[in-house]
Structure 1
């Protein structure tokens, strides 16, 4: 990845803030946005140039768009982002989407059918006319602050116990995004670990690790999606064995 570029991160939440800090540590100038006045100081203290931007209410700051790349990590509610990117001549955009846009069951990858009613897919299409657009579709997010043992602990008669999990760790969210920054020819990629244990194996192990009551599953609806990436060779996942990751204490 080219050093000393200016990157604007639209939405410095769980992922966006962690990405921004990592990019700063790699020598980049990073601008970050929030919709909360209370979070501006926190961004500043982490070395992020803070901006108060609320696309839903058309509250923006023009200087935020003066950058080499904008990474959109604010979800599907993008308001008139496409209009602002055209107005301020944004050359490159990376939109963080979700593998939840894929329709149906079975094995899917970037070539598979999508559900065109999904908000993230609608947002992808809204941005499709912009130059230099790349879309990263993340699977389920885990990592600091999103420990999986708590997700289903104590619940009973959960469906699809034998279905595979489709997950990505925060460390790999950051790594894959930085790989896409360096590879602008990648226009669409799924962010998902190549390891897919069953729901019952993963969530029981995670709950037990945290000393919580393990969830109980049945096999109803067991044939669920298994998400792959057709472009898996561009990035080496660091968290690629979920049960080992759990057993090592996260």
Structure 2
């Protein structure tokens, strides 16, 4: 892979862009903030100010809007669902998809950063020895999804890949940690939490960046979709393979980062939760996690 377009250079996207620059790859990066243009330029990223809001999508021709942004080997879509008007997420993805299909100059290879929030929680006694896990094939229709907006956004690209030459990889990321994001800090000093025995579904940012890079290489070199794979799309759960309980993670965070630990009740009541299985990404892509256990995420400044 020689070049990549990253739609959304935020907390994950910017670090992914830096990683690609270090590998001597050309990077187009988008931001919704004009103030961030200079930051992208300083990192060696070709910056684009792109705001996918309702006004712009209704009034803009996609060729004029995106210009040459997608004229690269790979497109990484890394924009979260809107906090309000969540149905608009599908509209945003359709606008992007239509541009990719209608413009012959742009890439037809897409990596879409999704979320494990798409999976419904299950209610199991925390003491049971066998707990049902969530796999990629568990969500085949909108009724099986916990988040309709995420399912519909993914489905825009999946359905397009079945009918066109678009190649799509969906990465359903777990809770993203790393840098200044420390899970326990969000609950510092909280009292009598009843979620201490729930397993976590986290992934470190460095692992997700490495997974993105691995997928990009495979898809750009036509090593992911071939004669043995009748689909032109794949879905992978990008989550640590080890799932310690929240209590252990938060208490360890408090010690390592010197903040007040939350306290937990001993009530092991029936609580909704899920465990995301990531064997597919390890077996099909051969990926080995740098940080497979959230208990041992590195202490970072």
Same fold (TM over 0.5): yes
Q: Identify which of 133, 136, 144 aligns with 1:110.
A: 136
C-alpha separation in 1, matches of 2:199 and 2:147: 24
Distance 2:297 2:97 in 1: 39
1:11 matched to 2:63? The reply is: no
Q: Is 1:226–2:275 an aligned residue pair?
A: yes
Conserved in 1, the CA contact under 8 Å of 2:193 and 2:263? yes
Counterpart of 2:250?
Answer: 203
- What TM-score results when the alignment is normalised by the length of structure 2? 0.76
- CA-CA distance at 1:85 after TM superposition: 1.4
Q: CA deviation at 1:65?
A: 1.6
State the secondary structure of the residue aligned to 1:144.
coil
Query: Following the alignment from structure 1 to structure 2, what is the Cα–Cα distance between the partners of residues 163 and 188?
Result: 25
SS at match of 1:159: coil
User: Match for residue 197 of structure 2?
Assistant: 162
- 2:76 alignment counterpart: 71
**TM-score for both structures, normalised by structure 1:** 0.91
How many angstroms does 1:22 deviate by?
0.3
Residues in 1 aligned to 2:21 and 2:257: alpha-carbon distance in whole angstroms? 33
Structure 2, unaligned runs of 5 or more: 82-88, 123-131, 225-232
Residue 158 of structure 2 is aligned to residue 124 of structure 1: no
Alignment of 1:135-214 (within 5 A): 135-184=170-219, 185=224, 187-214=234-261
Task: Give the greater-gyration-radius structure (CA).
Answer: 2
Query: Once structures 1 and 2 are overlaid, which stretch shifts more, 15-24 or 77-86?
Result: 77-86
Indicate which of 49, 55, 60 corresponds to 2:46: 49
Offset at residue 116 of structure 1 (A): 6.0
Measured in 2, the distance between the counterparts of 1:202 and 1:45 equals 36
- CA RMSD in angstroms comes to 1.8
Query: Match of 2:227?
Result: none
SS in 2 for 1:146: coil
Deviation, structure 1 residue 222: 4.1
| Number of matched pairs | 245
CA contact (8 A) 2:240 2:278 kept: no
1:196-224 deviation per Cα after TM superposition (whole angstroms, max 9, x unaligned): 11011111211232221111233334452
Asked if structure 1 preserves the Cα contact closer than 8 Å seen for 2:115 and 2:172, the reply is yes
Q: Residues of 2 paired with 1:228 and 1:15: CA distance?
A: 22
Task: After TM superposition, give the deviation of residue 241 of structure 1 in Å.
Answer: 2.7
Deviation, structure 1 residue 243: 2.3
More helix by share: 2
The corresponding residue for 1:244 is 296
- For 1:118 and 1:153, locate their aligned partners in 2 and report how far apart those are by CA, in whole Å: 32
CA contact (8 A) 2:291 2:297 kept: yes
Equivalent-residue separation in structure 1 for 2:111 and 2:214 (angstroms): 12
Say whether 1:215 aligns with 2:262: yes
